[in-house]
Amino acid sequence: MNDVEQDMNEIMEFDHSPISPFPRKNHIGEETFHSAWLHLMGEIKGSYFVDYSTPLHQILSHAFPYVVTQRHATVAASFICWLGTNSGRSIIDQVGRCLRYNPCLSRLDSFRLIWAKENSRRYGFNNGYRLIEYILGDMNDEFHGWQLNISVQDYEVCDRLIEWLADVEGTNFINSCLEVIEDLRQKDSAARLAKWKMENLLSNKS
């Protein structure tokens, strides 16, 4: 195996799983964004053996000053999965409102503005953690709480994702996920209603 093939194997073997506990079981939003991200990361764009252009490399490529590693893939997967939480959906909704009421702002400026505001450390909010610490912190250590091994490179990945989400492809990605979420929630509500009606019908007969 030559050096190029070895480098390609390392690139292709990225694990795009988010940091625990995401995605939480039966959480429609998190599971939808995670599934869509896995699908996107599996797409082949460009010529690998010419420019190592995996989807993750292309998304992070603009001004990303580091060699893409497994850690970057994990951070990206965690950030995208978090978009399916109530907190993540709030960011998306705030960007939409910002664009409606501030037409002079670009979508990118709106994303940057809202992310900067929500990622600030505020007393009594998220137990004093920044959003990025909440997203990337290790919640498995019950004694010490979150283990915050957040680096400058982690911030860089999130910044690049914000830029991508504000672009056409990222916007389409978000809208597609939201459509799937809405469809699944409607089906879930219909199933719950049907179950409730059936239980009441059987209860009345007995």
Q: What is the pLDDT of residue 15?
A: 93
Question: CA 95 to CA 42: how far, in whole Å?
Answer: 28
**Quick check: 65 and 155 in contact, CB under 8 A?**
no
pLDDT block averages, 10 residues each, the chain of length 206? 46 81 89 96 60 80 86 96 95 95 93 95 82 80 59 95 95 97 87 75 68
Is 28 within 8 Å of 184 (Cβ atoms)? yes
Q: Are 185 and 28 in contact (CB under 8 A)?
A: yes
Q: Are 160 and 59 in contact (CB under 8 A)?
A: yes
Classify 66 in phi/psi space as left (phi over 0), alpha (psi -120 to 50) or beta. beta
Q: What per-residue confidence (pLDDT) applies to 137? A: 81
Identity of the residue numbered 71: R
Claim: this prediction has a pTM higher than 0.85 = no
pLDDT at 129: 83
